Structure 1
Amino acid sequence: MTRILHVLDHSLPMHSGYTFRTRAILRAQMGRGWEVRGITGRRHSAAGPQAETVDGLTFHRTPGEPAVGNAVLREWRDIAAHADAIDALVRQWRPDVIHAHSPVLNAMAAQRVAKRHGIPMIYEIRAFWEDAAVGNGTGTEGSPRYWLTRQLETHAVRAADAVAVICEGLRGDLIARGIDPAKIIVSPNGVDMDQFGAPVPRDPALTAKLGLEGADVVGFIGSFYDYEGLDDLIAAMPRLVRARPRAKLLLVGGGPVEQALRDQALASPFTDHIVFVGRVPHDQVENYYAQVDVLAYPRKAMRLTDLVTPLKPLEAMAQGRLVAASSVGGHRELIEDGVTGTLFAPDDPAAIAASIAGLFADRGMWDDRRAVARAFVERDRNWSSNILRYEPVYQRLLARPDKVRAVA
């Protein structure tokens, strides 16, 4: 039986788009009859034992807190600690393939171990680390650190036996760096339809609690980062409410810019049309999707959003919700304007308001739009079928004539 060791930044029981994609991959691989485990680095911050089972999945932890001090030295120490923990697990469990997931620190740690033991390694990129740092406000495009991180990313890709990316934008960028296209597969974001594909009915009690009775509800459910463009969504509300007086905005989640968004909403002349819920347990998220008519994703135009496809619009489609999103590259890979969703110009509150108002004015097409979007997810973005993209890569790596099993 094939054993796959996934090298991760963090995992369940922490909740993020990263952990939910990981869960979907591991669950689907187990469904194929493969043995899978994960090992996380020091940035996994949830308390727990060194090895634990969460949602039926086994995860091992790299011991110790993240190193302190100079950023470069800190990261090298964390890589070394992660590599030591991976090495110990490899000696104990003897995986056939190491599957490292971004950020690049994980690939660097995993490559040390893979080379030492003659185990093939695939590196999966969900976003380039340098661009993610710009997106979350901890880095600057064009800075020396940005340049160095980009060089490390390119080196890790060249050293990997195979590379997976989540979208065509990332694949195109790697090819432009000189990476052989034959080395790269696209494993797009998907939805676990067994877990998330059965929409629940709207709960009238929750509707009343949120003050949404009779409202045209626009919603966002996810993490509050600056690049998500939620400030533009709040700025669009005066125009939207003037066009649709019953419109309300439901914001579910939290993150680095939450307080700034709350302050902005309080200063809005239509503050009573904006509802903040905060973070909710993952097993309750479906109840909030059921409250929303149109899920809005107003991501700002920048390199990160042009290259990377998000997960949330797919979840909304699976839940039978209408989707409206900015026309950045990552959204254009997921959403066909006028077919599976509605696209509007990024960084433009007026465009947001006009697009969403137009959706509420044309309810006659809602059922067809929802059905087409859900069918797209079931056919092209369902993890039970997406997982098949990995299988030929694993088989090719395991069939390498130079593969050596040197685990002591």
Structure 2
Amino acid sequence: MRILFIHEISWHKKVVYEIHDFPELLSLRGHEIVFIDFPEGCTPPGIRRIVDLKTTILKNCSRAHAGASIETRTPGRVVGPPMDRLMASLTHVPEIWRLLSSKAFDVVVLYGVPTNGWQTIAIARYFGVPVLFRAIDISHALRASVFRPLIKIAEKFIYKNADAISTHNEPLRQYCIENGAAPEKVSIEYPGLDLERFSPGPRDPELCSKYNLEAKDKTVLFMGTFFRFAGLDWFIDSFAPYLRSNLNFKLLLVGGGEAEQGLRTQVDRLGLSNNVIFCGFAEYPMLAKYLRLGDVAITTFEDSLVTNCALPGKVLQYLGCGLPTVCTPVKGLQSVICDENSGILYKERNHSFIEAVAALLANDEHRNELAKAARITTERLFQWDTCVNRFEDAIRKVVKNKSPKKQLV
């Protein structure tokens, strides 16, 4: 098949996750893949900051899987950040129209919503190209914006008009249905995990030296973007007494984001600069080595629509590396991985969460049992062959069931 993927983030700059894995693995199966993206966070020099209408085409791209070949197309723009995303709702249209009018694609796999999603649905319907929408989050609720009501309208339009919807957990499936999707159109396909890359192993000596970690140190690890809803400020405050009374307890924060400066100020105020280590973002080839520095991983999300419909990829990576994980009981993750025998301890965001982390650091036997269970869970649920087979089947089903043109609703 010739498959057009469309998203509203930068394929080249974003951390590696399923938007790289699925297209690349499908290309390794012989499918021809083109990916339209949006250059978020990129500021071109000179006059190109204001007007840059040329589509940038890069061929034979690969970020996660050796031998894969993706063609990326980044449409031009007419203003620089932050207005470029708003204008992209118009500037992406010619490129999407050009590609779909060529009749060269069997199907579109759509991730984007406000930037280029609803436009893709309309153009694909006009040219009779089926669209599989891959729902992985709640677009309108990701961040505060005056455009939030309009983004929700775009969401509902896509749910109602996509030929099929693929998502990764039951609460998100139900959200799509509640907002207009026909139940029979919405299926669940799990993202896979690179089980060779994300596997248990010893701590890397060079990283231990870099961050002054000793063999006796017990480490709690958080990896990911420091969103304000991530709950790290709460965890640092609550875990501070344990860090002060156990000098070999360390907290490693691998990542960065909007809350970082506030967290650094908080750590200094609490006098924990020797116990809390900010590692910055890890490059994908090094990520597993960073995860193996941890003894226990945490996910401290607040209870919200966004978090309850998420399936955090970092948790799968934790488990793949054999990291026992203490996590707040977010419903999307619980619908996929449901009990302690999976390597996850679900705890409410209160003192029971903190006690569970401290108890695991102190109990080698229990920690090792959970580590083994974590690895078994990933091998059972997230084997690439199985996950890609199911996603490929979902795409083929959309193509097979392609229906005559019908009115948008």
Check whether TM > 0.5. Answer: yes
Q: Does residue 60 of structure 2 align to residue 57 of structure 1? A: no
* Distance across 2 between alignment mates of 1:211 and 1:58: 40
Matches of 1:76 and 1:109, distance apart in 2: 13
C-alpha separation in 1, matches of 2:291 and 2:97: 42
Instruction: Please say if residues 23 and 70 of structure 2, whose CA atoms lie closer than 8 Å, have aligned partners that are also in contact.
Output: no
Question: Mind listing any 5+ residue stretches in structure 2 that lack a counterpart?
Answer: 45-54, 63-67
CA deviations on 1:138-194 (whole Å, 9 max, x unpaired) are 33xxxx743332222111111111111222111111222343211001122331224
Shift of 1:345: 1.0
- 1:82-97 aligned at under 5 Å gives the runs 82-91=92-101, 94-97=104-107
Secondary structure of 2:116's counterpart equals helix
Alpha-carbon contact 1:169-1:306 (below 8 Å) kept: yes
Question: Quick one: structure 1 residues 210 and 43, their matched pair in 2 at CA, closer, same or farther if it must change by over 3 Å?
Answer: closer
Matched, 1:21 2:24: no
Runs of at least 5 residues in structure 1 that lack an aligned partner in the other structure: none
Alignment of 1:6-405 (within 5 A): 6-16=5-15, 19-43=16-40, 45=42, 49-55=56-62, 56-65=68-77, 67=79, 77-91=87-101, 94-133=104-143, 138-139=144-145, 145-194=147-196, 196-213=197-214, 214-241=216-243, 244-339=246-341, 340-346=343-349, 348=350, 350-400=351-401, 402-403=403-404
> Helix, strand or coil for the counterpart of 1:79?
helix
Counterpart AA for 2:354: A
- Report the CA distance shift for 1:159/1:65 in structure 2 as closer, same or farther (over 3 A): same
Quote how far apart the aligned CAs of 1:91 are. Answer: 4.6
The TM-score, its normalising length taken from structure 1, stands at 0.87
Distance in 2 between the 1:301 and 1:87 partners? Answer: 40
- Distance, in Å, in 2 between the alignment partners of 1:240 and 1:93 is 62
2:329·2:347 contact (CA, 8 Å) conserved in 1?
yes
Name the CA distance, whole Å, in 1 between partners of 2:91 and 2:366. Answer: 55
Superposed displacement of residue 245, structure 1: 4.1
Instruction: Give the residue type in structure 2 aligned to 1:116.
Output: Y
Q: Is the 8 A contact 2:10 2:40 kept in 1?
A: no
Q: 1:296 to 1:389 in 2, by over 3 A?
A: same
Cα distance in structure 2, aligned partners of 1:403 and 1:391: 22
Residue pair 1:336, 1:342 contacting (<8 A) in 2 also:
no
Cα drift, residue 321 of structure 1: 1.3
Cα gap change, 1:94/1:249 in structure 2, threshold over 3 Å: closer, same or farther?
same
Q: What is the number of residues matched between the two proteins?
A: 388
Return the structure number with greater helix share: 1
Identity of aligned residues (%): 23
* 201 and 120 in structure 1: CA distance in 2 versus 1, 3 angstrom threshold: same
